Amino acid sequence: MKQKVVDMDKVLLDNEFFVFHKIDDSHFMGRPHFHDGFEIHFTLTNETTYYVDGRKFVMDSGAIAIFNSEEIHRVVVDNKKLYERYCILFKPRFIDVLKDNSLDILQVFTNRRKGYNCIQLSELSKEQLVKLFNELINYYQDSESKFQDLKIKVKFIEILIIISELFNNFLEDKKNINYEGNTQFYSLLDYIKNNYMEDSNLDDLANEFYISKSTIIRLFKKNIGMTPTQYLIYIRIMASRNYLEAGYSVKDVAYKIGYKDESSFIKKFKELQGISPKQYMLNLQRKGLKDEKYY
C-alpha cells in the first residue's frame, strides 16, 4: 500500500484508507471542511480545539474525535505548541470484509447522538490506543508483506471496536460532553439544512428568526468560521453527492439542491470536491459504487 502525504482539507479521499502519526509546530487548518469518508482524530496535545457543526470542544491529550462524511469540522491548536496526533481517514467500504455487520461497527459514526463527537480517554485507554495506532502504522508501512492489506484491516477493526465501546460506554453512563455553543445558532444551522433546496437568502434568515443580517453573519463567523452563504453551499454539495450516487443526472441534481441552473452547481461542486459532478459519477461507476449508502 503506497503512502501519500494527505491534505486534511481535501474533500475527496484518494484512497479507501489512510493513517498517519505526526508531530510538528507548524500547523494551520484555515477553513472548516468535510470528507467523502469518515475520520478518527486522536490528539496527544492539551487544549486541542475541535469545531464541529457550530459546537466547540476543547480537549486534552488522549481525546478521540470522530467525524462522518456530513459533519463540517476544523481542528485548531495553538501554533506555539508542539502538536502531536494520530489520524485515520477511511471509506466505509474499506471494511466490506464485515459486510453483514459493518453498519453495526460504524454506528458510532452514522447513528451517534448529536454533539457527541469527542470523548476524553483515561490514561489506560490512551496508552492502549497509542499502542494499537503504532502497530497499525507499522503494518501500513510494511509494503513487503504479502498479507499487508489483511493485517491493516484486522488491526483497524480492532481499533474501531475499542472506539465504539468507549463511546457507547460513555453514552450508557449518561456522561455529558462539555462544549460551547449557541442555541440560536443551532436553529439557524437546522433551518439551512432543512431548506437548502429553496431559493433562500440572508434576508429570509433574518425574517425567519427576527434578527439582523449582521448578527447572523457574526454568529456564523464566530461559531463555524464561514458565512451563511458558504455554509449553504457546503450543505448543498454534501446533499448533491447522495443524488449523484443514486443515479440522478447533473441537471436534475442542480435543481433538487436549489440551483437555478446547471452551471452554477457544477462550478460550486468542482470548487469543493476538486472534480466535476460528471467525473464524480464516472468515478462511482468505475468502482461499481453507485447506490452504496453508509450515512
Span 138-156, pLDDT tens digits: 999 998 988 999 999 999 9
Picking from 138, 39, 153, the residue whose alpha carbon sits closest to that of residue 89 is: 39
The pLDDT of residue 111:
85
The pLDDT of residue 11:
59
The pLDDT of residue 54:
84
The pLDDT of residue 27:
73
Region 2-25: what's the mean pLDDT? 69
Residues 43, 61: Cα–Cα separation, whole Å:
6
Tell me the percentage of the chain whose pLDDT exceeds 90. 55
Tell me the percentage of the chain whose pLDDT exceeds 70. 86
The pLDDT of residue 293:
46
pLDDT tens-digit map of 83-122: 999 999 998 888 876 655 545 788 889 888 777 899 999 9
**Contact assessment for residue 121 and residue 59, using Cβ atoms and an 8 Å cutoff:** no
Q: Compute φ and ψ for 116, nearest 5 degrees.
A: -105, 65
The pLDDT of residue 6:
43
**Contact assessment for residue 6 and residue 18, using Cβ atoms and an 8 Å cutoff:** yes
pLDDT tens-digit map of 243-268: 998 889 999 999 999 999 999 999 99
- The cell for 278 is 460528471
pLDDT tens-digit map of 276-293: 999 988 887 876 654 444
Adjacent-strand bridge partners of 21: 86
In this predicted model, which residue has the larger pLDDT, 27 or 238?
Answer: 238
**Contact assessment for residue 71 and residue 33, using Cβ atoms and an 8 Å cutoff:** no
Region 44-59: what's the mean pLDDT? 92
> Could you identify the residue written with the cell 461507476?
285
- Structural domains in the chain, CATH included, are 17-172 (2.60.120.280), 183-287 (1.10.10.60)
Region 214-223: what's the mean pLDDT? 89
